[in-house]
Every structure is written in C-alpha cells, then in structure tokens.
Amino acid sequence: MIFCAFALFSGRRRLGRLVKGMEQDQVCGQKVRIHEFLLTPFSAGLFCPNIVLPRILRKELEAEELEMVLLHERTHIRLGHLWFCLLWDILQILLWPNPFFAVCRNDFQEDLEQICDRVTIRKSGRDAYAYGLLLLKNMRLLNPEASELKRKNATIAFAGTDGYRDMRNRFSGIASFTPYRRGAAGGLCFVGAVLLAGIFLLILYGSYPRYMPVREIALYQEQESGEAQTIFLEPGSFEQALSWDEEYIYIRRASMDQLLEEYGIEGERFWISFGGYRKLPSMGGSSSSVNVDYRGQEGKLCIPYWNNESDFWSALLKQMP
C-alpha cells in the first residue's frame, strides 16, 4: 500500500508543481494556465482546480471554439471527475493486490470523457457534428505532422494512449449523441435515488440486529490466592439486589448480601459488570463496571459510574453494520 500510494501521489505532486509554474492568462473571461507542450487541454487540482491550455490552441482557435474547449474542462470540474479519479487512486491503494484497478483505469477515464462530451454538447447548444469537427481540429493543431504523432505522444485528455481505438470509441459516442430532456434525466435520477434508499432501508431494517444487548451481570472478586472468581447472573436473579440507570447503580445491601452468600462470595469488596452490548458476530462490545466497597455503608448504595456507551468509539462500533 505504501509503495502504491507513493507511486500514485508522487505523480500527482509533480503535476501540481508543473501546473503552478505555468503562465497564467485570461481566455474568454476565465483564468487559465498556458503551456508550450503539444498536449490536449486538461484540468488539475481538487480544491482550486486549474484549466491548462496549450499555447497553440490559444493562438489558433476562434473565440467560440475556445469557449467550448473551456466548457468541456469546466464540465469535468463541475461533475466531480477530478474527485472520482482521486477516489479511484485511493481504492487502488487500499486494494493494491487487485490488478483490475490498473487494467481498467483507461476504460474508467474513457467513460468520464464520454460523459463530459455529451454534457458539453448539451450545454453548448451546438450539435455533435460541430463538436466532432472541433475535436478533429484540435488533434490536427496538436499533431502538425502525422509522422511525428508517435514521437509527440499527444493524446486526448482522459483517453489513454491506445490512440486509434480510443479515438474511434470517442467519436462513435459523439456521433450517437441525441439531445436529452432535463426533466426526464432528473426524474430518472430521482427514481434511482428512491430505489437506492429503499434498498438501504430494507437491508437496515430487514437484517439481523447489529448488536445484542447484554442482559446478565457479572460479579468479580479476587481471592487471596490471586485468582479471580467470576459469577454470571441471568435476568430474574438479581433485580431485587441491584438496578441502574444512565448515571447511577443502586445496590440494596440486604438483598445483595443474600445473593453473595448464595453464590459463595465472601467479603464486602467486589466488582460488578453490567449493561452494554455484544457486537455480532463476535466483533467486541462494551459494558460498564463499578468497584463496590460497602464496609460501613448504609443499607442502600447509590454509586455513580461511567457509561461506556457514551464513548464515541464504542457508540460507533455499536452502530456499524
């Protein structure tokens, strides 16, 4: 995991430093970074994303064409694609033995690119044909000589390095684009969200309990030999002797003495463990306990205790699926 994280995030760090060192300019009323390399426009950065534009496109494209290029990159940012790529990296680090995260990265990036193409066409108000022509023009400007394509290694952003196959898939997606209605898309998303919520609630309330309340209590007493004597009392056998609420445990001495005598616990100092839960299946749990010393005390004791279930980590474990 450490080596995988170093390989992935060191590349991100180098890219961030490279982008910060680029010239900044205003294009179509928006701040962009300008670079001299024959690379397609791209966006980088999570909290303060930057759009990077090659100087040759800045020089050769018309204002309307530049606006569409910038709209494409803003769409990547608005749809959270940069965060999705970060999530992919995190999953690849956590599940590093799984080779499919590396094998399928190119397909994942192609999916993001095709989604961005469709949304950009929809928001620009232009047709898919004009968008495809602009993409071809960008490729021609970034690859002025076909013989230098391999040497330049210039690729479309988010499309990987398998040039022809990726370009064919991308242009096929652009050619098959048909305008969609926002209302229909919103309704489909709403229905999907309702179905997901219903499935979540079904699993939550139809599954076995996430924990089992502890109903018995335990009495501990250390013997002179150094061994600990432990007795577990089931519900129905100790209610006359003790009870508790959220802050105090109440011990009725006469009934407790009778209970101790019945189970052979001598002396007036012992521990009581009570309440709490057991996590299923055997994932730990929590309980509260008090040290009882009622020598010379009254017939009824009121002992404050710390409720372990109020601890954050204990409460988190209790609510985990």
DSSP for 151-163?
HHT---TTS-S-H
Select from 207, 222, 250 the last residue of a domain: 207
Mean pLDDT of 93-117: 87
Tell me: pLDDT of 255 over 80. Answer: yes
d(CA 317, CA 284): 9
Cα distance between the two ends of the chain: 26
Mean pLDDT of 155-162: 43
Going by pLDDT thresholds of 50, 70 and 90, the confidence category of residue 285 is confident
Tell me: pLDDT of 282 over 90. Answer: no
Quote the domain boundaries for residue 200: 180-207
Tell me: pLDDT of 196 over 90. Answer: yes
Strands (E), the chain: 23-27, 30-35, 42-44, 50-54, 211-213, 217-222, 228-233, 242-244, 248-252, 269-279, 285-293, 300-304
Higher-confidence residue: 133 or 142? 133
Select from 176, 199, 221 the last residue of a domain: 176
What pLDDT is recorded for position 198?
Answer: 94
| Residues 151 and 55 grouped into a single domain | yes
Tell me: pLDDT of 90 over 70. Answer: yes
What pLDDT is recorded for position 199?
Answer: 92
| Residues 258 and 288 grouped into a single domain | yes
Tell me: pLDDT of 148 over 70. Answer: no
Tell me: pLDDT of 146 over 50. Answer: no
Going by pLDDT thresholds of 50, 70 and 90, the confidence category of residue 45 is confident
Residue with tokens 């192609």: 110
d(CA 94, CA 84): 15
| Residues 161 and 185 grouped into a single domain | no
d(CA 231, CA 249): 18
* Burial class of 51 by CB neighbour count within 10 A (0 to 12, 13 to 18, 19+): buried
**For residue 288, what are its two tokens?**
């509260």
| Residues 136 and 17 grouped into a single domain | yes
Range 213-227 burial, b when 16+ CB lie within 10 A, else e: ebeebebebeeeeee
Going by pLDDT thresholds of 50, 70 and 90, the confidence category of residue 159 is very low
| Residues 306 and 231 grouped into a single domain | yes
| Residues 249 and 302 grouped into a single domain | yes
| Residues 116 and 232 grouped into a single domain | no
| Residues 274 and 131 grouped into a single domain | no
Q: What is the pLDDT of residues 51-71, one digit of tens each?
A: 888 888 888 888 888 888 888
Question: Across 73-87, 211-225, 307-321, which has the greatest mean pLDDT?
Answer: 73-87
d(CA 279, CA 318): 7
Going by pLDDT thresholds of 50, 70 and 90, the confidence category of residue 158 is very low
| Residues 54 and 159 grouped into a single domain | yes
| Residues 154 and 236 grouped into a single domain | no
| Residues 21 and 165 grouped into a single domain | yes
| Residues 190 and 134 grouped into a single domain | no
Tell me: pLDDT of 145 over 80. Answer: no
Mean pLDDT of 182-211: 87
Q: Which of 124, 53, 55, 116 is nearest to 82 (CA)?
A: 116
Cis ω for the linkage preceding 99 (within 30 of 0): no
Going by pLDDT thresholds of 50, 70 and 90, the confidence category of residue 161 is very low
Tell me: pLDDT of 34 over 70. Answer: yes
Q: What is the pLDDT of residues 198-245, one digit of tens each?
A: 998 888 787 777 788 888 888 888 776 667 788 888 888 888 888 888
- Count of structural domains, the chain: 3
Percentage of the chain beyond pLDDT 70 is: 90
Residue with tokens 């992935």: 8
Mean pLDDT of 89-114: 87
Select from 176, 198, 227 the last residue of a domain: 176
Mean pLDDT of 271-283: 80
What pLDDT is recorded for position 320?
Answer: 73
Dmax (CA) for the chain in angstroms is 100
Tell me: pLDDT of 188 over 90. Answer: yes
